[in-house]
Structure 1
Amino acid sequence: MIFRWFESLIDAFKDPVDTMPPKSVGRFYMFYLAQVWPVFAVAVVVGFAVALVEVSLFGFIGSIVDMAKGAPAKDFFALHGRELLWMGFVALVLRPVFIGLHDMLMNQAVVPSLTNRIRWQNHRYVIRQSLGFFQNDYAGRIANRIMQTGASLRESAVQIVDAIWYVAIYTGSAIVMFAKADVWLAAPLVVWLFAYVGTLYFFIPRTRQRSWLASEARSKLMGRIVDGYSNILTLKLFAHTQREERYVADAMAEQTEKLRGMTRLTTAMDATITTLNGFLIVGTSALAVWLWSQGKVTVGAIALCTGLVIRINNMSGWIMWVVNGIFENVGSVQDGMTTISQPRAVQDREGAMPLEVVAGEVRFEDVHFHYGKQGGVISGLNLVVRPGEKIGLVGPSGAGKSTLVNVMLRLYDLEGGHIRIDGKDIAQVTQESLRSQIGVVTQDTSLLHRSVRDNLLYGRPDASESQLTEAIRKARADEFIPTLIDGEGRLALDAHVGERGVKLSGGQRQRIAIARVLLKDAPILVLDEATSALDSEVEAAIQESLEVLMEGKTVIAIAHRLSTIARMDRLVVMDKGRVVETGTHAELITHGGLYARLWQRQTGGFVAADDALV
């Protein structure tokens, strides 16, 4: 019960304010730690109490030695019983209570929940980035940075809380205790303290910089490894296993060299601190013995000083590694920030409203888009798709057909012009509502590495079993789904399809994609080479299903195989980002323009215009 109470102090899945995390390291830390400041405030107070109790134990040792020396054995407990009971209470009750409370706060409240809250909030922010954001980086590197940033930020914050009081209490109390016995006893410790801080001041910033470089190299290595695993079929088809090994080895060598640069500093710092600690132990112990020989301090003072400097020696090594770990983790956080603290290229505007499609008219008005490059991909395009109209987009590769669909889905923001659906500018509505009103079947269908059922229900999560079965039947996916079995023995709809759907053939993936869009039943439909992965027999089998799917919808279909869209209400021919021709198949053939040339090239002149429509 007590475990659950501490574990409930931090909600790992609390929704954040949907803003970009700060770009400076200090503000980035505060952005997350401020959300849990009460827990950390209590942890600081408890840390102070733990450090104070630990130091007091060394004071007790000196006191016991002095009390034993100054009282007859038979009267020892009678004279010092209360002091001894207090010491026992501190050691047996207060110390376990404070340490237990500290461990509960850290291990139950902070370590699991804060780590995953940071990961959750970073993931929520990054998953809403634009398509271009993910196309410009390794998926593995993005995932690695999300994972490491949460752990590194939490670890360094916990280390700071743990270390701050140990440094202040141990060092401060030792100086006070030494000076109380004899002011000269504090001299070696004060000199050591200045040398110790100077050593950290010299090494730590350099360690932080090299840690950042090592973390960046590690993320790069992770990205290359995951990239290879994700494209394992390509590696094997081109027989480039050794080439891929060298590609990863280059990144691994870079990461090794960067890591060595960091560990060289760590080794040098360790040697320096160890030398300083040796001078502290010898100097303090020798001085304490000499002062005792002069009758200026007691035997208890020798025991106190010797025990405490040995403890400080151990603590200084721990502090060195803690501080080094803090800055190593800060370096990892800095590396993660390069991915996480990036503005979103495509954002919902303030006050954006949900889009409701009634008729389904799509209007492109003087559209300009170039992917940020010089020169045209789409330049000044104007097009109106009437409600319920079915158009085919035709044109050579690079004409801008898929780009036009991408900007209609607002995967990228326009550089000029407007796209309106039922008169509403898509830049003024929410992205989620826009895309919920458009069903898309793409040329390169990739499925989630989940069950067939999960992939299908992406179209409509609340679909009934009968609706699911009907969509499967209409897409002709019922021919193969019952036969599926995965490596763990799951069958049919429960079988997992592998990463990006690799366990299925291209035609099977495409039919699941079509069934998914059938379930979605959006008023606007985009078919981007929707039957490209199907053989002629299968394509003919599901053509009727596609026609059912298109009924009552506004349809924009892209196809290089012109025979698949020749029956559309209207064909729109694009070239170099502009509409150059528009009309029915027969009209465009008669016109003798670009479409007629493309048709002639594909059919070799053997299929007449009228024959194609039979």
Structure 2
Amino acid sequence: MFAALFRYLETRIDVFAPFDERETPPRGVWPFMWHHIKGVKGWMALIMLTGLAFSGIEAMMYLMVGWFVDLLATQSPQTIWSDHGWLLTGAAFLLVVVRPIVYFANHAIVDQVVVPQITNQIRWRNHVYTLGHALSYFQNDFAGRLSARVIQAGQSIRGATIEVIDDLWYALIFVAVALGFFGKTSLWLALPVVAWLGAYVALLIYFVPRAKKRSEANSLGRSSTTGRIVDAYTNILTVKLFARADAERSSVRDSLTRWNASFLHLSRLITGVSVILQTMNSLLVVVTAGLSLWLWSHGEMTPGAVAAAIGLVLRLVQMSGWLIHLVRGVFENIGSVQESMETIAKPHDLTDAPDAVPLVVDKGGIRFDHVRFNYGRQAGLFEDLTLDIKPGERIGLVGPSGAGKSTLVNLLLRLYPVAGGRVLIDGQDIALVTQDSLRAQIGMVTQDNSLLHRSIGDNIAYGRIGATEGEITAAAERASAHDFVQGLSDQDGRQGFESRVGERGVKLSGGQRQRIAIARVLLKDAPILILDEATSALDSEVEATIQEQLTSLMQGKTVIAIAHRLSTIAALDRLIVLDQGRIVDSGSHAELVARGGLYARLWSRQSGGFLAAADPETTPA
């Protein structure tokens, strides 16, 4: 029965419920928090109501103890049950039945309905929104920092919200009941509690801002130390090649020293405040007990009222310790929410048009129509670039570093928006189609292909959703990857296509990563193919084999290839020579060599360096 109930409660909030992925989260801590929890405001109200009921029952227990003590003092054993049996039964029912039910309702809503689901829903939505940012957003920040902000947002928003509406609410209700009881019994009895509350609030005002500041310094020390350690681990090959282990140890030691100092600074504050609080608590207990004794001696308090008063004060004293740290935790969570908000709540720089439609590629013709682009600089890289690529044409982009070759490809993929002009595919402006449909029609192999830390099979299947095992294997064979994949294994005993490749594919050599990336593009089989130094990491023998497969893959596709090693693209239909963002020449390999321009100089330099005796115009590509 309980398992079915838990399953029911745990499905009340859909972590992955649809939402507007393009809506920018609001700026401001409270609007940002409300943006994420407004969908569960009804459940939050139930938490407050059940918390109110439970805290009221908890406070009543102390009053019931006083009533029970007075009952024993004034009633005889023979008549107590007959005269007050229904009250005793009601009290027992309240404690044995109602209190557990209310407690269960409160914790079931908090622990089964809200906390896990809303925490991960916030993380999911922030992750999805973050994925929608343009490439430049990720290039301007650390991946670890971005992921930490996404993860901490869920925990911090949930923590701050639940702590305020459940725990602090509980404490406030309890304090209100205590003050009401003391005020009704004697104003003299209420005075010590009021004075204690005033001192407690003053202590909070002193403690919380300082604790928040020192906690932030401690958090900064932790993140700084973690960053230095991760940086050393990530670049461990460089550390070892340059024999810099001592320098890295010294760097982490300095960071740890600063972190430890900030931690001690925070601990010193906590210890001092805790001593002050315990002194205040002891004074409250002694003064309340003394006043209760005095009032009892003057006939203004019954023994039961004395017991209830001391019990309430002891409960307040017990709550004061965790409450002060709870308040500090709320402010720390709010600080974490602000950090996440500042990172996440930024408008997307590159979005689909409101009426964007899927791209349909029938032929694969490409046109760069008077394109302007400047990377945000005053001096533009492309000022008025026009380039037509016919359907099925295979072109090569040639030019020195910084000429704009990769930028042109990035604009075709719409990784950056053009500042002016248009990029067209089969007559369709790519700014008016969905980005996913655009990139689905383009296959690309780059020089530095990073792989996901998943299996070899999963990395190849990334090229096509729903690819079968046979299709994955066939793509690996065409990319000359099948044989080495069969010999792979990982630390968990997985072998072959099931073996994991490590972060960014670090367990594979550069050539092996390149072949997996080529297999992925072979499987994707998109009508437009981009090759950016696609075979640069391969040895000559494997490169020759892969070139045969790429030549086969190019059939019927529009191809854009970039290569600094000109011999790998010399046989393409047309070569486009770029220099400082301008097209300075175009034509076949033979035509460009014969004209003696920039391409001829580049070719002469390469062929002279590697094929000194060859004729530039007759050297085979």
TM-score, structure 1 length as denominator?
0.95
SS at match of 2:79: helix
Aligned equivalent of 1:243, options 247, 270, 291: 247
Aligned to 1:613: 620
The question of 1:320 aligning with 2:324 is answered yes
Alpha carbons of structure 1 residues 562 and 325: separation in structure 2 relative to 1, 3 Å: same
- Offset at residue 438 of structure 1 (A): 0.7
Alpha carbons of structure 1 residues 352 and 266: separation in structure 2 relative to 1, 3 Å: farther
Aligned equivalent of 1:131, options 132, 135, 145: 135
- Offset at residue 558 of structure 1 (A): 0.3
Aligned to 1:14: 17
- Offset at residue 223 of structure 1 (A): 4.0
Aligned to 1:382: 386
Alpha carbons of structure 1 residues 211 and 17: separation in structure 2 relative to 1, 3 Å: farther
Give, in whole Å, the separation in 2 of the partners of 1:284 and 1:435. Answer: 74
Map residues 71-90 of structure 1 onto 2, 5 A cutoff. 71-90=75-94
Map residues 130-169 of structure 1 onto 2, 5 A cutoff. 130-169=134-173
Aligned to 2:596: 592
Which region of structure 1 is more displaced relative to structure 2, 416-425 or 591-600?
A: 416-425
Give, in whole Å, the separation in 2 of the partners of 1:250 and 1:556. Answer: 50
- Offset at residue 108 of structure 1 (A): 1.7
Alpha carbons of structure 1 residues 538 and 459: separation in structure 2 relative to 1, 3 Å: same
Aligned equivalent of 1:229, options 229, 233, 237: 233
User: Are the equivalent residues in 2 in contact too, given 1:477–1:512 (CA < 8 A)?
Assistant: yes
The question of 1:359 aligning with 2:366 is answered no
The residue type paired with residue 74 of structure 2 is: G
1:530-576 per-residue CA deviation (whole Å, 9 max, x = no partner) reads: 01001111111121111011111111100000000000111111111
The question of 1:410 aligning with 2:414 is answered yes
1:447-503 per-residue CA deviation (whole Å, 9 max, x = no partner) reads: 111111101111112223443333222222223222222222222211212211122
Give, in whole Å, the separation in 2 of the partners of 1:435 and 1:159. Answer: 45
SS at match of 1:480: helix
The residue type paired with residue 618 of structure 2 is: D
Alpha carbons of structure 1 residues 17 and 4: separation in structure 2 relative to 1, 3 Å: same
- Offset at residue 246 of structure 1 (A): 4.0
Alpha carbons of structure 1 residues 215 and 22: separation in structure 2 relative to 1, 3 Å: farther
Which region of structure 1 is more displaced relative to structure 2, 6-15 or 115-124?
A: 6-15
User: Are the equivalent residues in 2 in contact too, given 1:207–1:327 (CA < 8 A)?
Assistant: no
Map residues 458-469 of structure 1 onto 2, 5 A cutoff. 458-469=462-473
Which region of structure 1 is more displaced relative to structure 2, 556-565 or 248-257?
A: 248-257
SS at match of 1:410: coil
Alpha carbons of structure 1 residues 220 and 428: separation in structure 2 relative to 1, 3 Å: farther
- Offset at residue 304 of structure 1 (A): 1.2
Aligned to 2:350: 346
User: Are the equivalent residues in 2 in contact too, given 1:365–1:419 (CA < 8 A)?
Assistant: yes
The residue type paired with residue 14 of structure 1 is: A
Which region of structure 1 is more displaced relative to structure 2, 309-318 or 198-207?
A: 198-207
User: Are the equivalent residues in 1 in contact too, given 2:456–2:498 (CA < 8 A)?
Assistant: yes
User: Are the equivalent residues in 2 in contact too, given 1:215–1:331 (CA < 8 A)?
Assistant: no
Q: Which runs of 5+ in 2 are unaligned?
A: none
Aligned to 1:286: 290
User: Are the equivalent residues in 2 in contact too, given 1:144–1:219 (CA < 8 A)?
Assistant: no
User: Are the equivalent residues in 2 in contact too, given 1:381–1:578 (CA < 8 A)?
Assistant: yes
The question of 1:449 aligning with 2:434 is answered no
TM-score, structure 2 length as denominator?
0.94
Give, in whole Å, the separation in 2 of the partners of 1:446 and 1:235. Answer: 21
Give, in whole Å, the separation in 2 of the partners of 1:368 and 1:32. Answer: 39
Aligned to 1:520: 524
SS at match of 1:173: helix
1:414-450 per-residue CA deviation (whole Å, 9 max, x = no partner) reads: 2333212122222221111111111000000111111
Give, in whole Å, the separation in 2 of the partners of 1:322 and 1:94. Answer: 27
Give, in whole Å, the separation in 1 of the partners of 2:37 and 2:268. Answer: 32
Give, in whole Å, the separation in 1 of the partners of 2:243 and 2:560. Answer: 39
Alpha carbons of structure 1 residues 355 and 238: separation in structure 2 relative to 1, 3 Å: farther
Give, in whole Å, the separation in 1 of the partners of 2:347 and 2:273. Answer: 39
Give, in whole Å, the separation in 2 of the partners of 1:268 and 1:35. Answer: 42
Alpha carbons of structure 1 residues 374 and 448: separation in structure 2 relative to 1, 3 Å: same
Give, in whole Å, the separation in 2 of the partners of 1:250 and 1:372. Answer: 38
* Coordinate RMSD, CA, aligned: 2.0
User: Are the equivalent residues in 2 in contact too, given 1:450–1:498 (CA < 8 A)?
Assistant: yes
SS at match of 1:522: coil
Which region of structure 1 is more displaced relative to structure 2, 112-121 or 431-440?
A: 112-121
Aligned equivalent of 1:335, options 324, 339, 344: 339
User: Are the equivalent residues in 2 in contact too, given 1:365–1:383 (CA < 8 A)?
Assistant: yes
Aligned equivalent of 2:48, options 31, 36, 44: 44
- Offset at residue 126 of structure 1 (A): 1.1
Aligned equivalent of 1:504, options 505, 508, 513: 508
The residue type paired with residue 142 of structure 2 is: Y
The question of 1:535 aligning with 2:539 is answered yes
- Offset at residue 230 of structure 1 (A): 3.2
The question of 1:426 aligning with 2:430 is answered yes
Aligned to 1:23: 27
1:496-519 per-residue CA deviation (whole Å, 9 max, x = no partner) reads: 122111222221211111111111
Which region of structure 1 is more displaced relative to structure 2, 59-68 or 250-259?
A: 250-259
Alpha carbons of structure 1 residues 435 and 480: separation in structure 2 relative to 1, 3 Å: same
Give, in whole Å, the separation in 2 of the partners of 1:238 and 1:189. Answer: 66
- Offset at residue 57 of structure 1 (A): 0.6
User: Are the equivalent residues in 2 in contact too, given 1:376–1:576 (CA < 8 A)?
Assistant: no
Give, in whole Å, the separation in 2 of the partners of 1:242 and 1:554. Answer: 52
The question of 1:479 aligning with 2:483 is answered yes
- Offset at residue 258 of structure 1 (A): 4.7
Give, in whole Å, the separation in 1 of the partners of 2:408 and 2:520. Answer: 23
- Offset at residue 112 of structure 1 (A): 1.8
Give, in whole Å, the separation in 1 of the partners of 2:205 and 2:567. Answer: 73
The residue type paired with residue 539 of structure 2 is: D
1:307-347 per-residue CA deviation (whole Å, 9 max, x = no partner) reads: 11111111122211211111122222222223222222222
User: Are the equivalent residues in 2 in contact too, given 1:377–1:398 (CA < 8 A)?
Assistant: no
Map residues 567-586 of structure 1 onto 2, 5 A cutoff. 567-586=571-590
Give, in whole Å, the separation in 2 of the partners of 1:102 and 1:441. Answer: 55
The question of 1:301 aligning with 2:305 is answered yes
Give, in whole Å, the separation in 1 of the partners of 2:362 and 2:382. Answer: 28
- Offset at residue 188 of structure 1 (A): 1.4
- Offset at residue 43 of structure 1 (A): 1.1
Give, in whole Å, the separation in 2 of the partners of 1:424 and 1:430. Answer: 11
Aligned equivalent of 1:488, options 465, 486, 492: 492
Aligned to 1:440: 444
Alpha carbons of structure 1 residues 265 and 365: separation in structure 2 relative to 1, 3 Å: farther
Give, in whole Å, the separation in 2 of the partners of 1:579 and 1:256. Answer: 58
Q: Which runs of 5+ in 1 are unaligned?
A: none
SS at match of 2:618: helix
Give, in whole Å, the separation in 2 of the partners of 1:281 and 1:431. Answer: 68
SS at match of 2:364: coil
Give, in whole Å, the separation in 2 of the partners of 1:250 and 1:431. Answer: 46
The residue type paired with residue 559 of structure 2 is: V
Which region of structure 1 is more displaced relative to structure 2, 199-208 or 389-398?
A: 199-208
- Offset at residue 256 of structure 1 (A): 4.3
Give, in whole Å, the separation in 1 of the partners of 2:140 and 2:354. Answer: 27
The residue type paired with residue 612 of structure 1 is: T
Give, in whole Å, the separation in 1 of the partners of 2:258 and 2:440. Answer: 45
Aligned equivalent of 1:92, options 93, 96, 111: 96
Alpha carbons of structure 1 residues 412 and 256: separation in structure 2 relative to 1, 3 Å: farther
